[in-house]
Amino acid sequence: MTSDVKQERKTVLIIEDEDNLLAPLTYNLEREGYRVVTATDGGEGLELAREESPSLVILDIMLPTMDGIQVCRVLRSESGVPILMLTAKGEELDKVLGLEMGADDYMTKPFSMRELLARVKAMLRRTELSPASTDGNAGGVITSGDLSIDVEARKVSLGGVPVKLKPKEFELLTLFAGHPGKAFTRDDILDKIWGGKDNIDRRTVDVHVRWIRQKLGEGDGAPRRIITIRGHGYRFEG
Ligand code: CA
């Protein structure tokens, strides 16, 4: 609880061109203890994201130079940083929600600041699941053979080649790789990654494991890091 690392402030990047939103967002997030960096257009936001490696990005859709949808796509292709989209009513919500976009959550304007802060907190909590970032080793890299997971930067590579994982895939792989040899039930995993098992099908876990295996080149017949334990769940073998 009192380690220096825990007290280190997380950086939130806000990309929003409306000052009447940017100012209160900045104020409230700083008051919650976050370090806040801001950009007022898409291109600048993307540059800042690369420079600052923020823990979370709040991203408006309607932006000068490059809209939030493009920014989201590029960001997602480069890192697994959690992205909270801000949308106006009637804006391309279908695109925001579409899987290919890769945003983790969205809020429709006008929204309550309290609700936004709660979402930010929840999103950041989900990224803290791995022991590498909770045991005082923030910025830690988990390695297993040629697999490397940079927990803080949310980047995964295999033999030095970047692997693009969606946020939930990243969190799941980090959970597994952070606990090699530990058996997880599907319910454990739903609790830890999806925040509960009540409204989610257990097969969601299986589908995500399949996607991760494919992305790690561990499809049918190939040796696997994530082992299926019949009648139980999964285990990561380093
Ligand atoms: Ca805007």
CA 16 / ligand 1 centre spacing (Å):
6
CA 41 / ligand 1 centre spacing (Å):
9
Q: In sequence order, what are the beta bridge partners of 84?
A: 58, 105
CA 17 / ligand 1 centre spacing (Å):
5
CA 104 / ligand 1 centre spacing (Å):
19
Helices (H), 128-223: 131-134, 167-177, 186-194, 203-215
CA 69 / ligand 1 centre spacing (Å):
12
Helices (H), 67-184: 68-78, 93-97, 113-127, 131-134, 167-177
Query: What is the per-residue pLDDT for 191?
Result: 82
Query: What is the per-residue pLDDT for 238?
Result: 76
CA 11 / ligand 1 centre spacing (Å):
21
Query: What is the per-residue pLDDT for 95?
Result: 56
Query: What is the per-residue pLDDT for 201?
Result: 81
Cβ atoms 190, 205 nearer than 8 A? yes
Dig out the tokens for 28 from the structure: 């409230």
The tens place of each residue's pLDDT in the chain, 238 residues long, gives: 444 444 478 999 999 999 999 999 999 999 999 999 999 999 999 999 999 999 999 999 999 999 998 899 888 878 878 899 898 866 666 655 544 567 878 888 889 999 999 999 988 887 776 444 333 334 578 888 889 998 888 899 999 999 999 888 999 999 999 888 889 999 889 888 887 767 778 888 999 999 999 999 987 777 889 999 998 999 999 7
Which of helix, strand or coil describes residue 109? strand
Helices (H), the chain: 4-7, 19-31, 42-52, 68-78, 93-97, 113-127, 131-134, 167-177, 186-194, 203-215
CA 40 / ligand 1 centre spacing (Å):
9
- Whole-model pTM: value is 0.56
CA 94 / ligand 1 centre spacing (Å):
18
CA 87 / ligand 1 centre spacing (Å):
8
CA 86 / ligand 1 centre spacing (Å):
9
